[in-house]
């Protein structure tokens, strides 16, 4: 019996995801797993090092290596490699697909190695340029940590290419789990090496985690039949096409990543810059959790369908609006939950002995300002993929560039003129994110010939109304129970308080959206009722990734 269960579980894990719902659920599951491990990693770091300058230095030290990775690899994979590789596979041109993938991997490693060697040698002046407000000792530590992290990023490139290949074969589970286990590598390193290496244990954990990321994917890579066929010629079939498609996305990523680096520069001018950056990073981590969970999962799962339907615009618009409403329906209640319960959530997740009350409150305030724009940040995943599906990578680039400049300009204004402190960046980011989403949606609406905005507004008004009352349902219990029932200095009481308030608020949200006849509510109620038939639900969906329709 256990053997049969294991075999069935292994078959389920290794099978392809053939439709949007199954792909989205698998992606969501792996994202949740990754986020749980990520939060454990963050709590472990703050429990050992606190909201300290040295932890802030470590968090900032990864920005330049990550900038190189995003610039060289992420742009190609997110908008160009997977469509071209998948097209070769669809035309039974596997040998050419494998040769193209191998060539791109070799070229990516060569370019990254050259640039990272330059960064390795000049890590100290680059660190000083990025964070001029940091002390001499902090700059020295940042440069040393950066040199270790560069090696991990080199390995991460290989793992990321393997993930892209598996996703092209409609395998989402193993790549997602492998990415999550990257965090596990960092956690193990911190636990065993921090007593002797201090903060460098986390940097060496990046190398260990990247190795795990590669090794976990290798068996499935062999199973799908991929073979490494490298060449050094950019004239290899498909390589030039990838370069042509990727450059606008690469520039867009470069501008965004440059914005994150300049953010470190702005934070470095605040008092206690390392500590301030820890607070900013931890608040952003919490705010980005639902963004990645729902925005990335739904956007990534819908992308192949949107690309397939670009020649049938009515189907394209129907798929886009359905995904749009689903994302809003899921993201808004989580946004208001993070806004109202920000302090208890920060205390529960990061409230270790080294993370003091002042840091908790400031992290909660920063999280509150981020929470206002969670819906916009999530929608950007979907709207940008709408443009990519229509083979337009330039519009998101132009709009993204302008909003990044706006973010940095507002951040500088709020820090240097209004002296808002670390919340300045969160306020600026939220304003810019909302503006960015509105502008991109208007342009996409024009490009597609217009969505049915009356039906969309009716649906959104219902969801926003339900969200508004959900905020009260979250606020009232936590105020009453905190003052009259629970001693929230104890973790178990804080957990009960947060759980009761969350249950009350989200239950009201589900009831109100059902009462308002929101179609997404009916869908999720149906899924809950049919939870025992989960496999049938995930496999019998009309919207498929490969272009076929599955009969119900």
Tens digits of residue pLDDT in 340-359? 999 999 998 987 667 888 99
* pLDDT at residue 311 in the model: 83
Angle between helices 273-290 and 342-350 (to 10 degrees): 110
Least confident piece of the model among 361-375, 478-492, 510-524? 478-492
Do residues 239 and 103 lie in contact, with contact meaning Cβ atoms separated by under 8 Å?
Answer: yes
**21 has pLDDT over 70:** no
The Cα 271–Cα 252 span in angstroms is 32
Structure-model confidence comparison of residues 505 and 227, the more confident one: 505
Beta bridge partners of 19: 544
At residue 529, does pLDDT exceed 70? no
CA angle 423, 429, 434 (to 5 degrees): 130
> What pLDDT, on the 0 to 100 scale, is given for residue 539?
53
Average of per-residue pLDDT values in the chain: 86
**Residue 545 DSSP label:** S
- Break the chain into its structural domains and give their ranges: 52-261
Instruction: Report how far residue 27's alpha carbon sits from residue 513's, in angstroms, rounded to the nearest whole number.
Output: 25
Higher pLDDT, 21 or 107: 107
CB atoms within 10 A of CB 222: 10
Output the CA angle 442-447-451, nearest 5 degrees: 65
pLDDT of residue 94: 87
Beta bridge mates, 258: none
**Torsion angle in degrees (nearest 10) through CA of 478, 484, 490, 493:** -60
Question: How many CB atoms sit inside 10 A of residue 542's CB?
Answer: 12
Residue 221 half-sphere exposure toward CB, CA atoms < 13 A? 21
* 3 state SS of 188: helix
Distance CA 345, CA 342 (A): 5
CB-based contact 19:545 (threshold 8 Å): yes
Tell me: pLDDT of 528 over 60: no
How far is it, in rounded angstroms, from Cα 169 to Cα 163? Answer: 10
Q: Which of 72-81, 463-472, 497-506 has the lowest mean pLDDT?
A: 72-81
pLDDT bracket for residue 74 (50, 70, 90): confident
In percent, the amount of the chain with pLDDT more than 90 equals 58
Mean pLDDT to the nearest integer, 189-201 = 96
- How many Å apart are CA 417 and CA 159, to the nearest integer? 44
**What sign results for the dihedral spanned by CA atoms 24, 295, 321, 317?**
negative
pLDDT given at position 542:
47
What's the angle, vertex CA 140, arms to CA 136 and CA 146, rounded to 5?
140
Per-residue pLDDT for 96 more than 60? yes
Among 60, 298, 15, residue whose Cα is nearest residue 171: 15
Q: How confident is the model at residue 550 (pLDDT cuts 50, 70, 90)?
A: very low
For the segment 330-343, the average pLDDT, to the nearest whole number, is: 95
Range with lowest mean pLDDT among 187-201, 311-325, 528-542: 528-542
**Residue 451: how many other CB atoms lie within 10 Å:** 16
Write the CB contacts of 479 (distance below 8 Å, at least 6 apart in sequence). none
Query: What's the pLDDT score for residue 487?
Result: 66
391 vs 146, higher pLDDT: 146
List the one residue out of 394, 329, 109 whose CA is nearest residue 228: 109
Instruction: Identify the CA nearest to 346 among candidates 273, 270, 428, 280.
Output: 280
Closest by CA position to 348, among listed 292, 294, 282, 291: 282
To 5 degrees, how large is the angle CA 434–CA 436–CA 440? 120
Which residue matches tokens 């006849």?
517
> Do 411 and 424 touch, CB atoms closer than 8 A?
yes
Q: What is the pLDDT of residues 220-273, one digit of tens each?
A: 999 988 988 777 777 777 888 888 778 777 888 888 889 999 999 999 999 899
Q: What's the pLDDT score for residue 531?
A: 43
Q: Which pLDDT score is estimated for 537? A: 45
Q: pTM for the full model?
A: 0.86
Residue 137 is predicted with a pLDDT of 95
Cα dihedral 85/86/92/96 (nearest 10): 0
By the 8 A CB rule, do 350 and 46 touch?
A: yes
pLDDT of residue 333: 96
Residues 6+ apart with CB under 8 A from 361: 343
pLDDT for residue 119 = 95
- Residues 412-421 have pLDDT tens digits of 999 999 999 9
Please tell me the chain's helix, strand, coil percentages from 3-state DSSP, rounded to the nearest 5: 85, 0, 15
- pLDDT band of residue 530 (cuts 50, 70, 90) is very low
Average pLDDT over residues 431-451: 96
Tell me the range of 298-302, 430-434, 473-477 where mean pLDDT is highest. Answer: 430-434
CB atoms within 10 A of CB 263: 21
Whether the CB-CB separation of 168 and 16 falls below 8 Å is answered with no
Does the structure show a pLDDT above 60 at 498?
yes
Q: Would you say residue 26 has pLDDT above 50?
A: yes
**Degrees to nearest 5, angle at CA 407 with 404 and 411:** 145
pLDDT band at 86 (very low <50, low <70, confident <90, very high): confident
Q: What is the CA radius of gyration of the chain?
A: 23
Per DSSP, what are the bridge partners of residue 544? 19
Check whether 535 has a pLDDT greater than 80: no
Q: Using CA atoms, how far apart are residues 462 and 470, in angstroms rounded to an integer?
A: 12
230: tokens are: 């490298």
The model's pLDDT over 198-223, given as tens digits with 9 standing for 90+, comes to 999 999 999 999 999 999 999 999 99
pLDDT tens track for 356-403: 889 999 999 999 999 999 999 999 999 998 998 887 878 988 999 999
Structure tokens at 542: 């009309």
pLDDT of residue 125: 96
Q: What pLDDT is stored for residue 194 in this prediction?
A: 95
The per-residue pLDDT for 471 is 95
DSSP reduced 3-state for 544:
strand
DSSP, res 454: H
Asked whether the predicted pLDDT for residue 547 surpasses 50, the reply is no
Per-residue exposure over 105-141, b if at least 16 CB sit within 10 Å of its own CB, e if not: bebbbeebeeebeebbeebeebbbebbebbeeebbbb
């Amino acid at each position: 019996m256990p053997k049969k269960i294991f075999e069935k579980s292994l078959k389920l894990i290794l099978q392809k995801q053939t439709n949007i719902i199954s792909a989205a659920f698998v992606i969501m599951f792996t994202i949740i797993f990754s986020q749980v491990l990520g939060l454990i990693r963050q709590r472990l770091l703050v429990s050992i090092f606190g909201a300290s300058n040295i932890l802030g230095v470590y968090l900032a030290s990864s920005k330049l290596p990550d900038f190189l990775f995003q610039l060289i690899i992420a742009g190609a994979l997110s908008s160009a490699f997977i469509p071209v590789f998948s097209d070769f596979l669809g035309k039974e041109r596997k040998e050419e697909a494998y040769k193209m993938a191998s060539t791109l991997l070799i070229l990516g490693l060569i370019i990254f190695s050259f640039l990272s060697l330059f960064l390795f040698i000049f890590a100290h002046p680059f660190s000083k340029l990025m964070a001029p407000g940091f002390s001499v000792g902090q700059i020295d530590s940042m440069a040393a940590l950066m040199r270790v992290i560069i090696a991990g990023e080199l390995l991460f490139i290989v793992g990321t290419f393997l993930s892209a290949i598996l996703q092209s074969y409609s395998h989402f589970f193993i790549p997602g789990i492998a990415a999550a286990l990257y965090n596990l590598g960092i956690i193990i390193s911190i636990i065993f090496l921090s007593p002797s290496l201090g903060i460098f244990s986390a940097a060496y954990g990046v190398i260990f985690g990247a190795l795990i990321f590669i090794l976990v994917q290798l068996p499935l890579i062999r199973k799908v039949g991929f073979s490494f066929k490298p060449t050094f010629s950019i004239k290899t079939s498909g390589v030039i096409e990838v370069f042509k498609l990727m450059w606008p996305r690469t520039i867009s990523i470069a501008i965004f990543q440059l914005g994150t680096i300049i953010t470190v520069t702005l934070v470095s001018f605040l008092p206690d810059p390392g500590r301030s950056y820890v607070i900013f990073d931890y608040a952003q981590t919490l705010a980005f959790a639902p963004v990645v969970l729902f925005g990335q999962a739904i956007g990534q799962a819908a992308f192949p369908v949107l690309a397939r339907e670009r020649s049938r615009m009515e189907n394209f618009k129907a798929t886009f609006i359905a995904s749009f409403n689903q994302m809003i329906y899921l993201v808004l209640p989580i946004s208001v939950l993070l806004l109202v319960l920000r302090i208890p959530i920060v205390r529960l997740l990061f409230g270790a002995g080294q993370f003091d009350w002042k840091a908790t409150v400031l992290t909660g305030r920063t999280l509150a300002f981020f929470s206002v724009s969670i819906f916009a940040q999530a929608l950007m995943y979907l709207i940008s993929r709408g443009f990519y599906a229509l083979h337009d990578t330039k519009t998101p680039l132009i709009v993204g560039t302008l909003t990044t400049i706006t973010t940095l300009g507002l951040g500088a204004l709020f820090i240097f003129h209004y002296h808002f402190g670390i919340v300045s960046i969160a306020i600026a980011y939220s304003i810019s994110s909302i503006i960015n989403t509105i502008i991109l949606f208007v342009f996409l609406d024009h490009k597609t010939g217009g969505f049915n905005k009356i039906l969309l507004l009716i649906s959104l008004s219902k969801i926003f109304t339900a969200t508004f009352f959900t905020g009260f349902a979250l606020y009232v219990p936590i105020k009453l129970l905190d003052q009259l029932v629970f001693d929230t200095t104890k973790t178990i009481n804080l957990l009960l308080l947060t759980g009761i308030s969350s249950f009350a608020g989200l239950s009201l949200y589900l009831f109100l959206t059902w009462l308002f006849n929101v179609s997404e509510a009916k869908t999720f109620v149906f899924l809950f009722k049919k939870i025992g038939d989960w496999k049938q639900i995930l496999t019998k969906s009309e919207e498929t990734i490969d272009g076929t329709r599955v009969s119900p």
